[in-house]
Amino acid sequence: MKNLLDNLYKNQSIIYKFFLLALSVFLIVYFFPTGGQFKYEIIKSKPWQYENLYAPFDFAILKSNEEISAEKSKIRKTHIPYFKYNVNTAKEVKSNWQDQLNTSQDSLLQNNPAISEFISGTIDEVYENGIRIKDESVNNYTFVFLIKDKVVNEVLYKDILTQEDLKPFLNSKIDGSDLLLSRNDLLEVFFEVFKVNVEYDEALNQNQIQSKFDQISYTRGRVSKGSKIIAKGETIEGEKLRMLRSLKNEYESQSLESSAFVVVVTGYTFLVLLSLLMLLLFIRQYRPDIYDNNNKITFIFFNILFLVFLTLLIMSLDTDYIYVVPLCILPLTLKAFFDARLGLFTHVITVLILGLVVPNSFEYMFLQIIAGIVTILTVSELYKRANLFISVVQITLVYIFAYFAFNMIKEASIAEIDYNNFIYFLLSGVGLLFVQPLIYAYEKIFGLVSDLSLLELSDTNSKLLKELSNVAPGTFHHSLNVANLAEAAANEIGANSLLIRVGALYHDIGKMKNPIYFVENQTTSVSPHDELSPTESAEVIIGHRLEGIEIAKRRNLPDRIIDFIRTHHGTSTVYYFYAKQKEEEDGEVAIDDFRYPGPIPFSKETAILMMCDAVEAASKSLKEPNTQLIDDFVEKIINKQIEEDQFINANITFKEIQSIKKILKAKLNNIYHLRIEYPD
C-alpha cells in the first residue's frame, strides 16, 4: 500500500495529464452532434470522383432556397390584405355631426333641412367602407377584405377613402348638388366631423401569410431506394446537385440507431484522443518547460475546450454562423503567453477537431488554418494597440479573400457566392479585439504573465522600482544599466527583449534590505564589511537573492520575473570574500560557504542576464578602460561562466554567446565614451 502511494505521489504530474486528456476527450465527444455523416464531398460543377452512387433509402428531393424564396414572394404578392372597420367611430360621427353643424358661424347652414339631408347622406356614403390612413406598403391591391361587425366583406380597395381622397370626393358631391352655399364652410363642417376608422390588421395578415407559408412543400419529388443518383465522372449540377444535397441533408438529420451511435462515438473518441495526444507529445518534445508545468497544460487545454464549445454552441443555433466564432483568438492568446510555434500547432489541432463535425469541413479547415498562419505572422508586440487593430484587419481580409477564392471554385459563379459570410468574418474580427481583456483575465486566473503585464512592470515609476531607487540608488542605477545591456543582447540573438528587460530591473531588489553592504550604494570609503568576517560578509551578499525572492512574492511579481532573481548568480562564488578568507586562514577553506545555491540559468533570457549582470558590475572596477582592456575583460568573465557550466541548462549556443560578447563590448565602449583625445 505504501509503495502504491509512493508511486502515485512520484507520478502525480503524469497522472494529472492523463486525467486532463481523458476529461477533455470526454467533454468534446459528449457535446459533438451525433447525427449521420455524409461521407462524400459535393463540389458544384465538378466531376463526381467516386463510384456510381445509388440511393441507400427512399428520400425526398429538397427544393432550393431560391425556389422557396420565390414561392414565399408569390404568396406575399397575391395575398389579399385584411382591414379592421371600427364601427363605434362611425356611429360616433353619425350621431355627433349635427352638433358641429350648430356651432357653424354660417347661419345658412343651421336649421336647413336640405343641408342636413345632404350632410347625413354624404356621411353615410363615406362610412359605407370607412376612412383609412394612406399606406404605401398596401397601396397596389384591387380588392381587400374589410372586417365590419365580425363580418368579412370583399370590397374595392379604392372605395375605402384615404384622408387625401376626402377633399376631391366632397368637392364632387357638392358640385353634383343644388346647394347654393359656401363650399369652404361646408368642407369645414365635414373635416371637423370625419375621423379615421379603418386600419390595416397587421397581426391577422401576418398570421394568414404564415399559414400559407406553412403549407409550402419543401420537396419536389422523391428518389426510390436503389435508384442511381449520379455516375462516376458526371458533372455535379442541376438535378444531380439537388439530389446529392437532399441525400446529404437526409443523412445528417437522421438519428443513429444505438449500435451505430456507439460506433460513431467510438470513432470520434479515437480521433479526438489522437489529436490531443499529438499536442501533448509535441509539448513534451519541444516545450519541456511547459510540459512540466501542469498549470500551463491546463491553460492550453482550457482554451481548446472553450473554443470548441463556443463553436458547437453556435452550430446548434445555425451552422451558417460558424465563422462568427473568433477562432484565431487561440493562437493570439498562446503566442502572448508562450510562443508562435506552440500557438499555431494548437490552433491546427483545434481546427482538425472541429473539422470532424462542421459542414463543408475542408473549406472550414482551409480558411481557419490560413487565418491562423496569418495571425502568427502578423501579430507582434500585442501590447501595442495599433498593432492589434492592424493585424485584425489583415486577418479579416485574408478570411474574405480566401472564402471568395474558395467559393469561386465551388460555385463556379461569382453571383452565387453567399456574401453574408463576409459580415460574419467582420464580426469575427471584432471578436478578436477582445483578446486583450481575455489575456488580462487569464493572467489573474492562471497566474501567467504576458507582454501586457511586462510592459506595466517595466515602468520605472512603479511603486517597487521607486522604492528601490530611494532605498538603494546605486543598485537601481546598476539595474538600469544591466537592463539596457541585456535588452540589446536579447535583440541581437532573437530572445524576448521585453521579458529580459523587466527581469533585469527587478533582479537585485533583494539588496533593499541591506543596501549599504553592497558597494554600489556605499558613499564613503568606510565599508560595513570591515566589521564582519569574510564568511559573514559572503552570507550577507548571497542572502540578497533569497531576500529578493521573498520581496517579489510579497509584491506579487510573476514567476517568470522571480526566475531572474533566482538564477542571476547561478552557482558562482563570492570570490572576493573567498580569497580573503583563504588569506586570513592560510589554509583550506570550504568553497561551498561562498557559493550561491543556484539554480543555474535555464533559458536564453536568464543566461543573458547572468552575463550582463556580471560584466556590468565588474566593469566598475576598471581604472583606465580602453578598447582592448574591455574586450579582454568581457571575454574573461563570460568564459569563466562557461567553464563553471553555468549555461548547460540554457538553450543558448556558443554562436549566440559570441554575439552577446560582441554587443557587450560595443556597449561598454559607448558607456565609457572611448574616443580619440582632442588637443587643448
Which bin fits 525, alpha (ψ -120 to 50), beta or left (φ > 0)?
alpha
Closest CA to 335 of 327, 346, 326: 346
Fold designation for 452-672: Hypothetical protein af1432 (1.10.3210)
CA distance to 29, 73, 376, 385, 398, per residue, from 373 (Å): 27, 44, 5, 20, 10
Write out pLDDT tens, residues 137-167. 666 678 889 998 888 889 888 888 887 888 8
Distance CA 258, CA 410 (A): 36
Q: What is the pLDDT of residue 678?
A: 46
Cell readout for 45 is 460543377
DSSP state, residue 142: S
CA distance to 262, 271, 306, 606, per residue, from 30 (Å): 12, 14, 14, 44
**3-state DSSP assignment of residue 49:** coil
Q: What is the pLDDT of residue 181?
A: 57
Cis amide leading into 679 (omega within 30): no
Q: What is the pLDDT of residue 329?
A: 93
Which residues make Cβ contacts (< 8 Å) with residue 672, sequence separation at least 6?
Answer: 622, 625, 630
Rounded to a whole number of angstroms, the CA Rg of the chain reads 42
Cell readout for 478 is 546598476
Cell readout for 617 is 558590475
Which residues make Cβ contacts (< 8 Å) with residue 86, sequence separation at least 6?
Answer: 130, 197, 198, 199
Strand partners, 230: 53
CA distance to 327, 383, 447, 472, 521, per residue, from 479 (Å): 41, 23, 25, 11, 12
Distance CA 46, CA 42 (A): 8
Q: What pTM was computed for the model?
A: 0.64
DSSP state, residue 460: T
Strand residue runs (E) in 375-434: none
396-401: long-range contacts, CB 8 A cutoff, minimum separation 24: 396/425, 396/426, 396/428, 396/429, 398/370, 398/371, 398/374, 399/323, 399/367, 399/371, 399/425, 399/428, 399/429, 400/425
Closest CA to 79 of 152, 145, 148, 146: 145
Dihedral angle, C-alpha 401, 402, 407, 408, nearest 10 °: 60
Count helices and strands in the chain by DSSP H and E runs:
28, 10
End-to-end CA gap in the chain: 88
Q: Where are the domains positioned within the chain?
A: 1-34+259-447, 46-63+217-254, 73-213, 452-672
Residue ranges, the chain, pLDDT below 70: 1-2, 4-6, 8-9, 34-39, 98-112, 136-140, 178-183, 185-186, 252-260, 380-385, 411-413, 415-416, 586-587, 673-680
Closest CA to 620 of 498, 433, 475, 446: 475
Cell readout for 459 is 515602468
Q: What is the pLDDT of residue 445?
A: 87
Q: What is the pLDDT of residue 271?
A: 94
Neighbours of 572 (CB within 10 A): 18
What is the DSSP secondary-structure string of 341-352? Answer: HHHHHHHHHHHH
Distance CA 562, CA 569 (A): 13
Q: What is the pLDDT of residue 280?
A: 95
Sequence-ordered alpha helix ranges (H) in 568-653: 575-585, 604-619, 627-643
Q: What is the pLDDT of residue 676?
A: 46
Q: What is the pLDDT of residue 480?
A: 93
Distance CA 350, CA 307 (A): 8
